[in-house]
A and B are shown apart, each in its own frame.
Chain A
């Protein structure tokens, strides 16, 4: 069974640009969550989608947005990039149906904003 796939693995952008990251969950999983990992703030929850609906959102500005498609694949978009957006962005998938459900993580997309 294929794991969670994130593309691209690395991205370099300049301030003011926008970026789209992609995540393909494990087959059969309907929940996709996104996390930002930085040395200073650690791992922070961005948002979670389940069956194409955003179920929860973390404390990030509106420049961060996401969506989920009918095949459960998800994208996140960051507009008007800032230097502080440089981070590892991790996607996790789960069945999203019961408490204690395991979230499976992808290898992440490393975004560098210059």
Chain B
């Protein structure tokens, strides 16, 4: 079946440091790829997405590029802030028989802590 593998961390950085969280996937077909973020005590919020090869998703300074040749979707940010401290999840969507995505397969999550 489909699967997502991401570095589990935890990752601890100083403010303004460069961030990379690696994510690779295994899937049949051409899934859409997502990064979600979870702050303490909250649900998941979509951070960015990409729906086809070579697409770059970006939001709030975060970026990730859909690399079909390496089946990867690594998350990057040039300068992290304390407020970026959260758990980050990489996910892919399965295309069901109905033709529309309805199920997300998640990685285990990466805890990021940014110190001032």
Chain A residues engaging chain B, CB cutoff 8 angstroms:
4, 6, 31, 33, 35, 42-43, 45, 48, 50, 55-56, 58, 90, 92, 94, 96-108
Contact = CB atoms under 8 A, between A and B. Distances in A.
A47 B15 CA distance: 39
Given A42-B107, A42-B108, A108 B43 contact: yes
Contact of A45 (B32, B41, B95, B105): B105
A58 B106 CA distance: 13
Given A4-B43, A42-B109, A103 B100 contact: no
Nearest to A41: B108
Interface stretch (B20-28, B44-52, B77-85): B44-52
Contacts of B100: 96-99, 101
Task: Name the 5 nearest CB pairs between A and B, nearest first.
Answer: A105-B43, A100-B51, A100-B32, A43-B106, A105-B44
Nearest to A106: B43
Q: Is the interface of B mostly helix, strand, loop or mixed?
A: strand
A10 to B, nearest CB: 11
Q: Give the contact-size bracket for chain B.
A: 20 to 34
Nearest to B96: A56
Interface string B67-100: 0000000000000000000000100010110111
A102 B43 contact: no
Contacts of B101: 98-101
Nearest to B32: A100
B108 to A, nearest CB: 5
B103 A56 contact: yes
A55 B104 contact: no
B43 A45 contact: no
B46 A104 contact: yes
Interface string B8-46: 000000000000000000000000101010000111111
B99 to A, nearest CB: 8
The residue among B42, B95, B102, B109 with the most chain A CB atoms within 10 A of its own CB is: B102
B93 A99 contact: yes
A55 B102 contact: yes
A90 B34 CA distance: 17
